[in-house]
Every structure is written in C-alpha cells, then in structure tokens.
Structure 1
Amino acid sequence: MTEYPLIEAPITLVRARRIRSLTDPEPEALAIAGERIVDAGGWDTLRGRFPRARQVDFGSATMVPGLNDAHAHPSLHTSEDLYADLAPTSTPTATAVRDALAELAARTPEGEWVVGHNFDLSRTRDGDRVDRALLDEVSRRHPVLVIHYSYHAAVANSAALRAGGYRDDSADPVGGRLGRDAAGRLDGVVHERAWMEAYLGHGGRQALVPHPTLDTRVTALARTLERFNAAGVTSVCDAMVHPDDWRVYQEAHRRGLLTARVGMLLWYEFFRHAAELGMATGLGDEWLRFTGVKMMTDGASSGGTCLCTAGARGIQLMPDEEIDRTVREVHAAGSTVAVHANGDIAVGKVLDAIESAQREVAGNRRHRIEHCSMADTATARRLHGAGVVPVPFGAFVHYHGHNFVKHYGHETAATMCPHRTFLDAGLAVPGSSDYPCGPLEPLLALRSMTTRRAQDGTVLGAGERLSATEALHAYTVGSAYASGEETVKGRLAPGMLADFVLLDQDPLTVEPTRLDALRPLATWVGGRQVWAADQQGETS
C-alpha cells in the first residue's frame, strides 16, 4: 500500500478527457493542495483517497502542462499607454504611420516626446518612407521616435537626432550604426547601440524616451500578463530587465497581480551592483525569480543585422574583450549568463568566452545563448559539451521566414532556428517567442516548429522539423530546464506546481498545420484559474 504524507491544505481533484502530463503513464486525474500537485492517478482512486475534496471535471478538454515562454519582453509593454501603436494591423502604410504620430503630437505639449512602437518595415506598405523626412512632417516642435518591433532599431526626426547628440557628421558609435542617405546625411535610422544608448538609457546614459508612473506600468503589466494567460502561458522569462522594470515586477507581486510566474534576466550593466548585494541566479520565489544576466553580442536575425558569415556581416554590439570580461565576471560570481547571439560568428564568440570562463573557474552554471539562430552540428556539439542551453525562436520560421530569405538567402534560412539539430545533439531545447519581436502564441510556435512553413507557404528546412510531442516538450520541459526549474515545472506529476492549460483539442493528435487553430479554454497557475475563455468546469 502506498504511504502518503499528511496533507492539511484543502484538496481539489481535477480531470479532463485527456491529461497530457508528459509522464508515463498519463493519469486520469490530479489532486492539488495549495499550489502543488500532490497525487495523480485514476479518478475513482483519487475520490476514494480524498472523499471531501472539491471536484472539478473539465469534460472534453485536453489538459497540458502550463506553457512556458523562455524568452519574451513583457516589461516593454508597460509603457504602451504613452506610445502610438504602429503595428501593420493598425497602420498598414507609411502615410498611416505619419497620421497616427501626428494625432499623438497634436495632443502632446510642445517639446515633449512623441513615440510610436511596433513598427514593422517589411509589413508596412512603403515602409522605407518612414525616415527622418517623414517624421519631420509629423512635427518639428517635438522629438519624434519610431521604435522598430525588434527593438534593435528606431527612426528619429531631426529634433530627436539632436536630442540624442547626433549630427550629420557624427561617426557610428561602437556597436551601433547610423543610417545615411545618398548624400551622406543622417536619414534618421539608428541601429542597435546607436539608439539603445542614446534613447533608452543603456551605457549609463539617461533615458530620453518617456516612461509612465509606477502605478500605470503595474496596471499595464497585469494587462500584458493576461494576454500571456489567454495564450496558455503560465511562466515567462523577461529577457531584459532594468532596475525600474524590476521594481514594476516587485510591486505587481506585492499587490498579487502576477498571473504568470516570472523569471528576470538583469541587464549586464547593473550586475556588479547586484553581485555586491549578494544577488545571484535563483534569488526569489516561485512567482518572481532572478534567472540570470542578459547581454547582447549582435543584432536581429529578422532585421538582417546578426553577426554571421551569410549575407551582410551584421553588427557586433560588444567588443570581444567586453564579451569575455562580462561572461567571466558573471560566471565567477556564480550566476547564469544569458547572451543574445543570432549569427554563427556571434555564437562562436560567446561559446569561446563561456568555455574560457569555465576553464578558469569550475562550476555548473547552466549558461544560455539566447536565440542561437545559426548553429550547425559541430556548434551544437560544442554547446552540449559546455552545458550551454540554446534558446531558439519558436515561431520565427513561420513569421519571419521571408526576412530570413531576404537577408541571408534560402539556403541559410533553411538552417535557422535549428531545433532538430539541437535535439539530435542531446540538448534541452526551450520554447520562446521574443514577444513583441515575434508572435506571442505558443500554439502558433508549435505549428512553426512542426511544419517549418513560412507565411507564404515556403518550407524552410524540412529536416529541422520536430514532432508535436517534441515541440510541446520545448514549451514545457525545455523551458523549465533553461531556467533551472525542471524539478517543479514542465510536467503534471506529484511534487510539481499545479500550472496547466485546458485546450479544446489534443495538440498531439491534430494535424500539425492546425495546431495554431487550437483554442485555450482556461489557464490555471498554482491550482487557481487565472483566465478562462468562458466559465470552465463543473464543480461538485
């Protein structure tokens, strides 16, 4: 007879037509106490074991472990109330972009910033017309800035260029690039560190782009996390957190407004101060956690600025010595480094730095390379040997496949986001959206990972396809491994957190091309329903 520990918390029994627990065997039902699963097995068995338990039957739904986004940027949306939305669905043409910004300028006091975000050059008709000249048409009395969806580039009008300290004769800053017209005059486009440091406040400079109050940001964060919940996400890693963002998360946690578990990657410029305070990877609780230290070595894969041997060479954001020094310091301090590297050249530089740090200071840190978009079999083996976790994009082949082909050619595009290569090398592979740089929905990512079909129908690298089970593992087990939480997340089993999603169909049996058509019905985090499409379950 099985011996069970004494359970004092109220018990809830839950069941569905199918529980894809990612365990063998799959249970018919789960018993939940507090935030954890305490038992699993047959429905009648659990009812006998816990006769006074609350019972919830989800009927024909399929239950899967909570989906876990290993790399996204929820905090970027906490300023959205101040910005004009320039997504192609809102402003499909350059003229519409200009008009939306002009409307915002008309109600903004003279001299204050007018900012638009979510601009997508490749999906906006005549998008290349969104330059310094067009933004000067919006206003010459306001600094005007348009932020690219990738956050790797922006476009500034003349007033914004002056505010950033740029003139026509300015040289490109280290790790950045200033766009120029045929006459050599600045055209307003600012890439990578040229805009991050001048406008966002990286590199120790004061941010020029306005931020709302703490209360406004906390409210916006709660709204953003609800979008994640509606997509079935129960955990998310915010992949670039500054101290102000950290305070937003802390306040949301204090107010009980976190409806998804959050891991934070602290921007590397602030790590020394954190280390002096004894802060390291793992600090926090199961709702809000310090996951690691973020740094960036190259540009955007979809924007054509990743550091690679294919197409244009791209942009290296950090000099080699800065990469080596930062990785060494974070590793020696006992924290995880999470390095943005898309191109094969960038990935190689980061691996060199990690392997060097490991030779100097022993210790298992489970470092990460964010995106790792271009990696062949030999590189995958190096990653495995160094114990490094690659964190590839989930839906980018589908959503940005046309940009991959445009910037790097079809042959290279077919090898990008190499999920199969990683798995075959024995690596744990997480699932990530990079939202808002890519689509939020994990189910769309599962379709992309299993079909490798771009939006125009082109298949890019059929050999890199995953099975539906492998893709689901990425967004559950793999992402939990990437954050060092595989003992409490990723599967539905006793001892695990009671985080799960109810779907209207079974993702492991539907046709892969229909995975994004599956509908989340409800999302539970810590044994509590945090979102529902409508009222789910029958309670007795």
Structure 2
Amino acid sequence: MQKIYFNGDIITMNDINETVPAILIEDDSIIFTGELSKAIKIANEDVEMIDLEGKTMLPGFIDSHSHFTGVANSLGQCDLKDAKSFMQIKEKIIDFIKINKIKENDWVCAFNYDHNNLQEHCHPDRFFLDTISTKHPIILIHVSSHMGVVNTLALKKMNITNDISDPEGGHYGRDVNSGELNGYLEEEAFIEFNKQRGMLPIEKLLDLMKKAQDLYSSNGITTVQEGMVNRQLFQLLKLAASKKIFKLDLIGYIDLLKDRDLLIDNIENKDYHNHFRIGGYKIFLDGSPQGRTAWMIKPYLNSQGYCGYPQFSDDQLYQLIAQAIEDHQQLLAHCNGDRACQQYISQFERYLNNYQGAKSYDPVMIHAQLVTKEQLDKMKKIQMIPSFFIAHTFYWGDVHIENLGYQRASQISPAKTAFNQGLKVTFHNDSPVISCDLMKTIWCAVNRKTKSGIDLGKEETVTVYQALQAITINGAYMYHEENIKGSLVAGKKADLVILNQNPLKTEPLNLDKIKVVETIKDGQTVYKSEKNLTGE
C-alpha cells in the first residue's frame, strides 16, 4: 500500500531546517521525499493521497530512556503527583482502595509523591501509612523511583525486621530515638524490596502494556526503551512479543550486575522479534539529586559535608565495563552527580588505555545532570553519549537551587555545551518519573525555566532544531539505528508523527502547547487524535 503525504511542513531532520513538499511511503518504508509532482509520477495509480492541511510531519519520536513496564504498572496505581500534604496522600489512597475494591492483604501501590512538594517537607513513614490501612500492605514510590515508603504490614509481608543491615548502595530508614525501621527505603534497599514484591498477574500486566503503548504513541513516540531488565521482566517481555502485543519498537537493557548471562544466553534477541530486542546492558552509579542521593564532588547545601554516595568502587565499575566491552555490548549507566559522571568516564578511559584499539560501543551516560564541560570533552574522545533528563530544569529546578545553590543548579543538563562540542545529545523523560510528553521536554530544553519562573542557566538553552534532533536522529544514533530511523529519507522506516503546529515556527514559550495529531509506525497509524487539531 502506497501513501503520499503533502500540503504541510514535512521536516526531514536530514539537514538543518530542511523541509520537502511531499513524502511517499510504501508499506513500512519511505521510498521518496521531494516534489509532489515527482512523488505522484513514481507512485502507483492507486496511491492514497493524504492532505496534511498545513500540519507538520516529522520522524517518529525516539524515547532514549524510560521504563516501559514501569509506565504500564503506574496505570494501575494511585497517582500522588497532585498531593501537597500527608493528609492529601491519605485521602487519595483511601479513595483508591474503595474505588478499586482492593481486598485485604492485597498490595496498594501509590506513586509520584515528592517530599519536596509536601507541606511537611519530608517523607511520610510507616506509622503514618498505618493510619491509612493496617489490612493492606502499602508502598509509596517516590517520584524519582529511587526511594519509597512502606507500612508495617508491607515490612512484615517481606520478612524485613529491625535487625536487617543496610545493603551496599542503599539504606533503610530508622526512627532516630528507638532505632526501629520507619518504613523508608532508599536506593538498593528500595530496588530490592520492589523486586521481591513481584509483579502483577500476567494477563493484567499484558493489558496494561497495551495501554502504556497507547500513551507513548499519543505523544508521537515510535521507539520506546525498557531501561532495566531483570530475569523475570525479560520473560514477560518475550511473552508479550510472542503474543504480538507490541506495535511500537521496544529496546530493553539487561541488568549487567545481576543478569549478565541473560543477554549471553539470549543473544538472538539482539535483533527485533515482533518489535522487541535487547540493546545492551544497564547499571546504576548513583541516585537522584532531588532526593539528595546523587554522588557529588562538592557537598549539598546545609548537609554537614554530605555528598551522596556511589553504587560501586572504581575497581567494581571497571570490571563491569570490561564485561560489557568483552561481550561487545553498549553500556548505559545512570549518572546524576558530577562525581558519578567522573567515575564512569575515568573507568572507561582506564579500560580503553589498558586495551589500545578496543571499541567502546558508544556507551551512554543516562541523565548526566551535573556533568561538567571538562567531562563532556572527555566523553567525546571515548564516544560516550550524554542523554539528558533536561526536564529537570522545570520539574525540580527550584529544588536544585535549594539543594545546590543557584550557580551549581544552573549548570544542570548542559545541553548547549554538549551540542557545541559535537556530541550526539539525546533527551528523555525517564517515564514514569514524568509523563512521556516529549513536546514538554522540548519546551524545557529551549526555555530552561523552573516551576516558579526562574531562568535556570539560559546560556545552556538549545535551538528548537537541536531539541528535535535529540528526540529523532540522535536517538536513532544512540540505538545504532540511524540507518533505518530518525530522519525522513528514502529507505528508512515509515515511522512518522504529525503535529498540529510546526515547532520551528512556534514561539518558544508555546512549544508545550503543540499537540500530536497522528502517530504512524511502519506505515500504519497507531494513534490518531479524536480532536479536530488544525495546522497553521
């Protein structure tokens, strides 16, 4: 089946600000871009002519880091993003239990609470959660997904008692007076708790996955990431693929620390099977800056010298890097603090210096919040890609000013510097930490304003075209798929998004008002807005 799209702004992302009058696709591929008359001449007689009516077409957006199954799970959880106090948390969870008729002893999961935005300016504890219910195990997931709080029944259900020790790279909160567990879980303690808690019933999860795909596609995304895959999750994703549930491409990254053999034993999954493939390995090097667990060179403000903490020693990290390179795999590392960024770079340099001629396989620094200019220089030399969670400038910019001071906070996500140094910059939303609305991310990158309206590092704002590169062609490059995705060029996949306005012609402060009209994956429409969104 052939289709010609015309009469709109068709932005190819092949060259700066390049547009073409028409694009011809056949089945799942682009076969021509250029003049409408030539497209018609090339096409079959029964070609479908689609008038864009002044709207804008771009390559399908590429999610360079999120947690797809986390987004799916969140669709069945209590959303606390609007809660401003402990009492509002309580009210929302009680209503959630009633509306969903959750049975006693069944888990109640709530997510998106942010202690920085609560009246109490602290995390709730198990004693407070016990006032919500003592008959349901309750877990609250912090908006960063790096920490959370559980009630007493949840601790009991997981056989966690007061004599438990902190795991390496994690922490169990305790009452300052009695020393008893207070229900707070941080980093590795939280991650392990969630892993042991297990997953929802399979059929329920598969249904939520379908809904999660609808959410991604409604935001113009055609390629999605599963940012940390363990053994149990890998089996679920393979099952979903075998049932042909995926309509978007899903790329998973295996937990290198705990499940290296999973990739080695399933190397055939490096290629797509029903839209799912393995992209490489993933590790965590530190925590979150808004949660004050990111590993910094200089202390947080008002912290008595506290700088956060690492997940690994230098030698441990070196061994993990060696494993990834020896397996010929790309490595993604979560790095927020500048000290974590430094560690990742230095240990990669150490390996490449020890083994001259070895390939790096384009490692990725996920988040790269406090990466410095000097570190970016070093990243380019070892072909390391910075993937910025640039929406931090808006969502937690004010918190970063409080935690780090304005000067340090204004240096987060130095995207302009990275672009100027020739790095293949990508942007991501780390969903479900925030929604997968990439037009909001473009707004954040171009404007760099906090929630309170403070300009946060205006010298690091990027152009709209650069922001679009970060979610199209550069994302494809990161996944080693630049030959099949990321720009509108003959021979590439017909992964397309149609917007109601042209970002390149929109006032910067209005970029987040642009809406997705239609998303097309492999030539087939996977999302179409029910609203009549006209182009300008």
TM-score, with length taken from structure 1: 0.90
Q: Which residue in the other structure is 1:13 paired with?
A: 4
Q: Which residue in the other structure is 1:95 paired with?
A: 87
Q: Which moved more, 1:357-366 or 1:339-348?
A: 357-366
Task: After TM superposition, list the pairs within 5 Å mapping 1:133-144 onto structure 2.
Answer: 133-144=127-138
**Residues 147 and 360 of structure 1, relative CA distance in 2, 3 Å threshold:** same
Q: CA–CA distance in 2 between the matches of 1:271 and 1:334?
A: 16
**Residues 266 and 536 of structure 1, relative CA distance in 2, 3 Å threshold:** farther
Q: CA–CA distance in 2 between the matches of 1:393 and 1:313?
A: 21
Q: Which residue in the other structure is 2:187 paired with?
A: 192
Task: After TM superposition, list the pairs within 5 Å mapping 1:515-534 onto structure 2.
Answer: 515-534=511-530
Contact map agreement 2:115 2:123 (CA 8 A) in 1: no
Q: Secondary structure at the match of 1:508?
A: helix
Q: Secondary structure at the match of 2:296?
A: coil
Q: After superposition, what is the alpha-carbon deviation per residue over 1:87-130, rounded to whole angstroms, capped at 9, x for unaligned?
A: 233x4431232234345667544444332222222234436362
**Residues 462 and 286 of structure 1, relative CA distance in 2, 3 Å threshold:** farther
Is 2:204 aligned against 1:216? yes
Contact map agreement 1:135 1:157 (CA 8 A) in 2: yes
Q: After superposition, what is the alpha-carbon deviation per residue over 1:67-99, rounded to whole angstroms, capped at 9, x for unaligned?
A: 11100112013334653x13233x443123223
**Residues 318 and 485 of structure 1, relative CA distance in 2, 3 Å threshold:** same
Q: Which residue in the other structure is 1:154 paired with?
A: 148
Is 2:321 aligned against 1:327? yes
Q: Which residue in the other structure is 1:3 paired with?
A: none
Q: Secondary structure at the match of 1:352?
A: helix
**Deviation of the 1:187 alpha carbon:** 2.6
Contact map agreement 1:368 1:388 (CA 8 A) in 2: yes
**Residues 439 and 246 of structure 1, relative CA distance in 2, 3 Å threshold:** same
**Residues 166 and 150 of structure 1, relative CA distance in 2, 3 Å threshold:** same
**Deviation of the 1:364 alpha carbon:** 4.3
TM-score, with length taken from structure 2: 0.91
Q: 2:473 aligns with which of 477, 483, 490?
A: 477
Is 2:124 aligned against 1:130? yes
Is 2:19 aligned against 1:23? no
Q: After superposition, what is the alpha-carbon deviation per residue over 1:394-422, rounded to whole angstroms, capped at 9, x for unaligned?
A: 31211121221122221111000110121
Q: Which moved more, 1:432-441 or 1:414-423?
A: 432-441
Contact map agreement 1:178 1:188 (CA 8 A) in 2: yes
Q: CA–CA distance in 2 between the matches of 1:141 and 1:278?
A: 42
Q: 2:250 aligns with which of 259, 262, 270?
A: 262
Q: Secondary structure at the match of 1:435?
A: coil
Is 2:294 aligned against 1:306? yes
Q: After superposition, what is the alpha-carbon deviation per residue over 1:261-282, rounded to whole angstroms, capped at 9, x for unaligned?
A: 2111112245432244262884
2:49 counterpart letter in structure 1 = Q
Q: CA–CA distance in 1 between the matches of 2:174 and 2:73?
A: 29
1:57 counterpart letter in structure 2 = D
Q: CA–CA distance in 2 between the matches of 1:254 and 1:35?
A: 20
Q: 2:350 aligns with which of 344, 349, 356?
A: 356
**Residues 516 and 82 of structure 1, relative CA distance in 2, 3 Å threshold:** closer
Q: CA–CA distance in 2 between the matches of 1:253 and 1:140?
A: 39
Q: Secondary structure at the match of 2:20?
A: coil
1:94 counterpart letter in structure 2 = F
**Residues 274 and 15 of structure 1, relative CA distance in 2, 3 Å threshold:** same
1:374 counterpart letter in structure 2 = L
Is 2:216 aligned against 1:228? yes
1:191 counterpart letter in structure 2 = E
Is 2:240 aligned against 1:252? yes
Q: CA–CA distance in 2 between the matches of 1:16 and 1:442?
A: 25
Q: CA–CA distance in 2 between the matches of 1:515 and 1:285?
A: 36
Q: After superposition, what is the alpha-carbon deviation per residue over 1:136-172, rounded to whole angstroms, capped at 9, x for unaligned?
A: 2123344322111221001122233344454445443
Q: Which stretches in structure 1 are left out of the alignment for 5+ residues?
A: 1-9, 202-206
Q: Which residue in the other structure is 1:318 paired with?
A: 312
Q: Secondary structure at the match of 2:386?
A: strand
Contact map agreement 2:70 2:431 (CA 8 A) in 1: no
**Residues 522 and 275 of structure 1, relative CA distance in 2, 3 Å threshold:** closer
Q: CA–CA distance in 2 between the matches of 1:286 and 1:492?
A: 23
2:244 counterpart letter in structure 1 = G
Q: Secondary structure at the match of 1:263?
A: strand
Q: Secondary structure at the match of 1:99?
A: helix
Contact map agreement 2:231 2:259 (CA 8 A) in 1: no
Contact map agreement 1:502 1:523 (CA 8 A) in 2: yes
Q: CA–CA distance in 2 between the matches of 1:439 and 1:356?
A: 37
Q: After superposition, what is the alpha-carbon deviation per residue over 1:319-338, rounded to whole angstroms, capped at 9, x for unaligned?
A: 33332211111111111111
Q: Secondary structure at the match of 1:191?
A: strand
**Deviation of the 1:246 alpha carbon:** 2.7
Q: CA RMSD in A?
A: 2.3
Q: CA–CA distance in 1 between the matches of 2:269 and 2:454?
A: 41
Q: Which residue in the other structure is 2:303 paired with?
A: none
**Deviation of the 1:461 alpha carbon:** 0.6
